[in-house]
Amino acid sequence: MQEPLLEVDGLSVDFALPHGTVPAVKQVSFAIASGETLALVGESGSGKSVSSTAAIGLLPDLARTRGAIRFAGEDLLAATPRRLRRLRGNDISMIFQEPMTSLNPLHRIGRQIAEVLERHRGLKGDPARQRVLDLLDQVGIPEPARRIDSFPHELSGGQRQRVMIAMALACEPKLLIADEPTTALDVTVQAQILTLLQDLQRRYGMAILFITHDLGIVRHFADRVCVMRQGEVVETAETTALFAAPKHAYTRMLIDAEPHGRKPPVPADAPLLLEARDLRVRFPLKKRLFRPGSDFEAVRGIDLRVRRGQTVGIVGESGSGKSTLGRALLRLLDSRGDIRFDDTALAGLDSAGMRPLRSRMQVVFQDPFGSLSPRLTVGEIVGEGLRVHAPELGRRERDARVQEALNDVALDPAMRHRYPHEFSGGQRQRIAIARALVLKPEFLLLDEPTSALDRSVQATVIDLLRDLQHQYDLTYLFISHDLAVVRALADTVLVMKAGEVVEQGATETLFRAPREAYTRELMRAAFLEDTAA
């Protein structure tokens, strides 16, 4: 390796919290050369973001750092704040995970980019504006002359991330730190952003420190990989070598945690459990005085059949209407069209009419942090449905059912007296599943149940869902933007776009030979084919 541009040497970061010091990063070392891409990989809490934030001196005041971070030979930990400000945005730039909130909502994007030029290049007025237009063009913003005066909220997530990139590249930095820059974006947008970053890297010869939890991106994007776990580096290697022969057990586990396996099919004559015909959901848009309000149709005439024991996967990008469809099927939203569950027509039922059916159709949501009430114990959360649907049960019997459900999701029933905040994300998702299972449902709507979880945790939840389906003959409607997970779990797949079904079919057929152009584009993006060309 040539002379390193950035060298992190024995870096330790502790957070001095009121109740004691918490180590976040322990003795971490890595180096990047000019023009190279190093991926810093790890699951949440591994210290990857803390390490990179330390490099530009933006850690919170509570942080205590030791070791050295050398940038072109200069120790950044010893540098004055003034010197660091000189480097930031100039020689070292950073883009972040949250494109929706990383731009100041009150300033026009052109001004936000020009600010960097003014700060580091002294560029103002027309020359600055010209350079901003140039940059917007380079990062692929259509009609830069019109967009330069837009406010952030007028742009999509992908466009905002492009603006962030333009801002980061304004002074042609030597090092770009990209902290999960595509995690919040749809897969097709992610693929575009990654391609853009690669192009720009080639043009400017900058080094990229790429922080991610997504091994798919690493494989196609990075020259070398540094795997972190619990604040320590466990393995550093060339990308190809790492994937071919991971040395550390943790790295192997991460690679194995990519979803695998296939769902065994159900008999072709399995009875229909859920059927929808020409399902439509409309949301009224803002009403205007003296004018009729208009509607937005989020689900546009969808037909769907789910057989008992099947898993039907619904995939699509944000705004495609997949969650709306799921909620409409359970009558959590008003809709038009026919829905039959088993032998009951749901269409005309009000909430009282739905109640007896609710225990048979349950739902698990994406957010394991927001969807459990923080004021109730786990036992109360799991048992609450029983109070409604099986009021005849006594306290003891209810408790027995709660323990059984927790056992089913591989949680220690003794933990039922604790509160949700004492559990990790994966455990909380198990609690959410137990809450659904305790009612012994036949049908589960799983709305992105694994999307907020780390890959390794995700794998265990997927295994759990598989086991439960087998054990209790459950039928799943599985909504996800993650094609790999859907492929591992579903019998049939529906691809949605703009409220309509683009394509549907048996999972393997659809993944092997997608017919529609949109499906192909989605798969290419999801599995990052062609992006590393």
Partner 1 sequence: MLSYSLKRLLQAIPTMLIVITIAFFLMRVAPGGPFDGERALPPEIEANLNAAYHLDEPLPQQYLRYLGNLLQGDFGPSFKYKDFTVTELILQGFPVSLEIGGLAILLALVIGLPLGIAAALRRNSAIDYAVMGTALAGIAVPNFVVAPLLALVFGVLLGWLPAGGWNGGALPNLVLPVLALSIQQIAYIARMMRASMIEVLGSHYIRTARAKGLSERLVVWRHAIRPALMPVVSYLGPAVAGIITGSVVIEQIFGIPGIGRYFVQGALNRDYTLVMGTVVFYGALIVLLNLVVDLIYSALDPQIRYDD
Tokens matching residue 533: 């060309």
- Under the binding rule (CB under 8 A), the answer on residue 96 touching partner 1 is yes
CA atoms of 166 and 160, how far apart (whole Å): 10
The answer to whether residues 387 and 398 touch, using CB atoms and an 8 Å cutoff, is yes
Contact set for partner 1, span 148-187 (CB under 8 A)? 151, 153, 164, 167
Q: Is the dihedral of CA 384, 386, 391, 396 positive or negative?
A: negative
What's the chain's length in residues? 533
From residue 309 to residue 328, the character string flagging contacts with partner 1 as x (rule: CB under 8 A) and all else as - is --------------------
Q: Which of the ranges 113-121, 206-214, 350-358, 379-387 carries the binding residues for partner 1, by CB under 8 A? A: 113-121
From residue 325 to residue 344, the character string flagging contacts with partner 1 as x (rule: CB under 8 A) and all else as - is --------------------
CA atoms of 502 and 499, how far apart (whole Å): 9
Tokens matching residue 81: 């704040």
- Under the binding rule (CB under 8 A), the answer on residue 358 touching partner 1 is no
Query: Taking Cα atoms as reference points, which of 59, 50, 56 lies closest to residue 69?
Result: 56
Q: Which of the ranges 9-17, 85-93, 432-440, 506-514 carries the binding residues for partner 1, by CB under 8 A? A: 85-93
Number of residues that bind partner 1 (CB under 8 A): 30
- Under the binding rule (CB under 8 A), the answer on residue 102 touching partner 1 is yes
Nearest approach in angstroms of CB 20 to partner 1 is 17
The answer to whether residues 104 and 138 touch, using CB atoms and an 8 Å cutoff, is no
- Helices within 321-410 (DSSP H only): 322-329, 351-358, 378-389, 395-408
Tokens matching residue 55: 């490099």
- Under the binding rule (CB under 8 A), the answer on residue 94 touching partner 1 is yes
C-alpha distances in angstroms, 54 versus 44, 227, 339?
A: 17, 18, 55
Candidates 119, 360, 389, 520; binder of partner 1 (CB under 8 A) is 119
- Under the binding rule (CB under 8 A), the answer on residue 101 touching partner 1 is yes
CA trace torsion 195, 198, 203, 207 (10° rounding): 160
- Under the binding rule (CB under 8 A), the answer on residue 395 touching partner 1 is no
Please name the helix (run of DSSP H) or strand (run of DSSP E) that holds residue 457, with its range, or none. Answer: helix 455-472
- Under the binding rule (CB under 8 A), the answer on residue 121 touching partner 1 is no
Q: Which of the ranges 101-109, 347-355, 381-389, 484-492 carries the binding residues for partner 1, by CB under 8 A? A: 101-109
Tell me the one-letter amino acid at 78.
Answer: A
Nearer to partner 1, 289 or 352 (CB): 289
- Under the binding rule (CB under 8 A), the answer on residue 458 touching partner 1 is no
CA atoms of 378 and 376, how far apart (whole Å): 6
- Under the binding rule (CB under 8 A), the answer on residue 289 touching partner 1 is yes
- Under the binding rule (CB under 8 A), the answer on residue 17 touching partner 1 is no
Q: Which of the ranges 83-91, 336-344, 473-481, 502-510 carries the binding residues for partner 1, by CB under 8 A? A: 83-91
- Under the binding rule (CB under 8 A), the answer on residue 105 touching partner 1 is yes
Nearest approach in angstroms of CB 62 to partner 1 is 10
Interacting residue ranges for partner 1, rule: CB under 8 A: 56, 58, 84-90, 93-94, 96, 98, 101-107, 115-116, 119-120, 151, 153, 164, 167, 288-289
